[in-house]
Amino acid sequence: MIKACKIKGEISKGGQKTVYFAEHPDVGNVVVKRGEIKSFTSLERIRREVDLLSSLKSSYYPEQHYFNVDIKNKSFEIVEEHIEGSMLRDKMSQFSTPKEIFILLNDLVQGLKIIWNKNIVHRDLKPENIIIRPNGKPCIIDLGIARFLDFEALTQTISPIGPCTPIYASPEQLENKKSIIDHRTDFYSLGIIALELYLEVHPFDPSYLKNHFSILENIMQGVYLTSHGTKLENEAITGFANKTLQIQPFNRFRTIKLIENYISKNI
């Protein structure tokens, strides 16, 4: 399949892979990912992500078309569906009222529930990893650091911080407490995203909190904004934040059903 893909341009380039926009005569627009395999761990993460996406068959995730590993050259190639739309980062103003935010959260939870029920935690939810389709529905991308709770952990216990995007990570990720990571870890990231959408600023940003701590220190201390500028505190949004942004996972919504119920009451 890869040979039939016509590369149209580069989308992004990171430490491990380069992502291209391409066309395929049979499936249309696709994304081609090419990169190097730096270790067994990186290869295993790629395999797990590819196997998961291949099994999902859901509009909440990109469809996987092709995967190949060249052990000799220590490289890999992936072809997956190109999602039409824009990153949530570029569509923040589309979800500014509490109702709009909770509608988006409901869609995200319905999508994430698919992997949560498989004992998988996304672990990297952020506006850059959510694509808003033309119909307004989200597609969740980049499961490269997803935590497969039924499989052996790939992160070394001695690592000072677990795999994550730190400013959207939970305290247990920042402290690499692997044993307590579960779906409530993703709840935490959803709490940050919800407040950021409502306030239009990152809720843990010290420049708005007017303290001398960093974003990560504020996360670890549970200090965040619930109002900002003309955005007065909203009871429903604050209630959601207070239940998802607890430092200890056991103080957050305990189950998927509880977070679903809270969101549905506010749509």
pLDDT in tens, 67-111: 999 988 899 999 999 999 999 999 999 999 999 999 999 999 999
pLDDT at res. 155: 67
Residue 53 has pLDDT above 80, yes or no: yes
Residue with the larger pLDDT of the pair 45 and 105: 105
CA atoms 41, 10, 14, 63: torsion sign: negative
Residue 157 has pLDDT above 70, yes or no: no
Looking at domain 2-81, its CATH superfamily turns out to be Phosphorylase Kinase; domain 1 (3.30.200.20)
Residue 34 has pLDDT above 90, yes or no: yes
pLDDT at res. 158: 66
pLDDT in tens, 203-251: 999 999 999 999 999 999 999 999 999 999 999 999 999 999 999 999 9
Share of the chain above pLDDT 90, in %: 84
Question: What is the phi/psi pair of residue 167, to 5°?
Answer: -75, -5
CA atoms 156, 158, 159, 162: torsion sign: positive
CA separation, residue 59 to residues 90, 111, 125, 243 (Å): 20, 8, 17, 28
Residue 153 has pLDDT above 80, yes or no: no
Half-sphere exposure of residue 37, counting CA atoms within 13 Å on the CB side? 19
pLDDT in tens, 122-152: 999 999 999 999 999 999 999 989 999 998 8
pLDDT in tens, 58-73: 999 999 999 999 988 8
pLDDT at res. 156: 65
* Residue 62 C-alpha from the chain's centroid: 13
pLDDT at res. 151: 87
Amino acid at 247: I
Looking at domain 86-264, its CATH superfamily turns out to be Transferase(Phosphotransferase) domain 1 (1.10.510.10)
Question: What is the phi/psi pair of residue 132, to 5°?
Answer: -95, 115
Return d(Cα 254, Cα 265) in angstroms, integer.
Answer: 17
Residue 162 has pLDDT above 90, yes or no: no
Q: Are 111 and 58 in contact (CB under 8 A)?
A: yes
Return d(Cα 147, Cα 74) in angstroms, integer.
Answer: 24
| Domain segments of the chain as ranges | 2-81, 86-264
Mean pLDDT over all residues of the chain?
A: 94
Average pLDDT over residues 163-192: 96
pLDDT at res. 154: 74
Structure confidence at residue 41 as a pLDDT band (50, 70, 90): confident
pLDDT at res. 161: 83
